[in-house]
Amino acid sequence: MLRRGERVWLNAAVALVYAFLLAPIVIVVLAALNAGAYLRFPPEGLSLRWFVAFAQSRSFTRSLAFSLKLAATATVLSTVLGTMASLWLVRFGGRLRTTLRILLTAPLAVPGILTGIALLIFFYALGWGKTGFGGLVIGHTLICIPYVFLITSAVLVRFDQSLEEAARNLGASPFATFRRVTLPLIKGGVISGAIFAFVTSYDEFNISLLLSGVGNTPLPIQLFDYLRFSFDPTAAVAGTISIAMAVVVVLLTQRLVGLESLYMGGG
């Protein structure tokens, strides 16, 4: 049991940590509600005028829709590929397991700007140039796969394969075994990886900067271009929308699989 003084200091430390984590979020939200003409904190007053301005801005709404479409596509592809790679590597990797794991996680160690440059050179070497949405999907999927792979692999390492063997002995096909036994037990890890992939793709800047083209501008790039010439709270509105999306993702995760499953990486 902690003494009274120790408990006070512990509570104070926890409060400081929460304040440190939440302060940027509070500042962004209040800046988005600023009634003034410039992006500043503390706000001059509270108003929804900049939310209306964001909604009426075709460039921002188009970029937001494009970012959601891009992140959703990259998430689906990286989740499927990352899960397949983790299944094969854990079950059949053999002597190549370590080498393949390093190759699959290499995008995490390489700076994003270098990955973007390498992809740009590769596309031009193939005669594709800036391929727009297709090139962005390839780039975002490349950097998202490691998250799905690592989390799903961690679940599969401690997976009891005797459950699959029992299902096969009872006459289940390989696909039925995966769908009704394996997938339900590893869904926490798969969903965790998918969430990391979506957030990573939605916030990715370096690859998007190098591979995006006219009419294919993700929200982070649009926000960067906007702040070069304007400094009003519309930029904070974009950040507030991203924060709201993160909250929605957490709530949906809690409702679907529970946060405990998400943190533990298992079903």
pLDDT in tens, 170-196: 888 878 888 888 888 888 888 888 888
Backbone angles phi, psi at 46, to 5 degrees: -110, 135
Cβ atoms within 10 Å of 52's Cβ, excluding its own: 12
> What's the pLDDT tens digit per position in 153-165?
888 888 777 887 8
Per domain, the residue ranges of the chain are 58-264
Average pLDDT, stretch 3-16?
Answer: 82
CA angle 106, 220, 235 (to 5 degrees): 150
180-to-24, 87, 164 alpha-carbon distances in Å: 43, 16, 10
Strand, coil or helix: what is 70? helix
What is the pLDDT averaged over residues 19-42?
85
pLDDT at 94: 74
Residue 38 tokens read as: 């410039």
**Cβ–Cβ under 8 Å, residues 241 and 53:** no
How big, in percent rounded to 5, are the helix, strand and coil portions of the chain? 80, 0, 20
Inter-residue contact 228 to 166 (CB < 8 Å) = no
Q: Above 70 in pLDDT, residue 9?
A: yes
The Cα–Cα gap between 80 and 145 comes to: 9
Rounded to an integer, the average pLDDT of 229-238 is 84
Q: Specify the 3-state DSSP secondary structure of 254.
A: helix
Comparing CA positions, the residue from 81, 75, 70, 76 lying closest to residue 132 is 70
Percent of the chain at pLDDT exceeding 70: 93
Pick from 145, 130, 20, 34: which is nearest to 84 by CA?
Answer: 145
* 81 pLDDT tier (thresholds 50, 70, 90): very high
Q: Summarize pLDDT for 248-263 with one digit per residue, the tens.
A: 877 777 776 655 554 4
In DSSP terms, which residues pair with 213 in a beta bridge? 216
CATH class, domain 58-264, is mainly alpha
CA 175 from chain centre, in angstroms, equals 29
Q: Has residue 67 got a pLDDT over 60?
A: yes
For helices 97-109 and 133-157, angle between their N-to-C axes, nearest 10 degrees: 130
pLDDT for residue 267 is more than 50:
no
- Picking from 77, 110, 99, 90, the residue whose alpha carbon sits closest to that of residue 150 is 90
Tokens of 8: 């006070």
Q: What mean pLDDT is reported for the chain?
A: 84
pTM above 0.75, yes or no: yes
Query: Binning pLDDT at 50, 70 and 90, where does residue 80 land?
Result: very high
pLDDT band, very low/low/confident/very high, at 129 (cuts 50, 70, 90)? low
Higher model confidence: residue 197 or residue 248? 197
Q: What stretches of 93-157 show up as alpha helix (H) in DSSP?
A: 97-109, 112-125, 133-157
Count Cβ atoms below 10 Å from residue 164 Cβ, excluding itself: 18
| Average pLDDT, integer, range 108-119 | 88
Report the pLDDT averaged over residues 222-241: 85
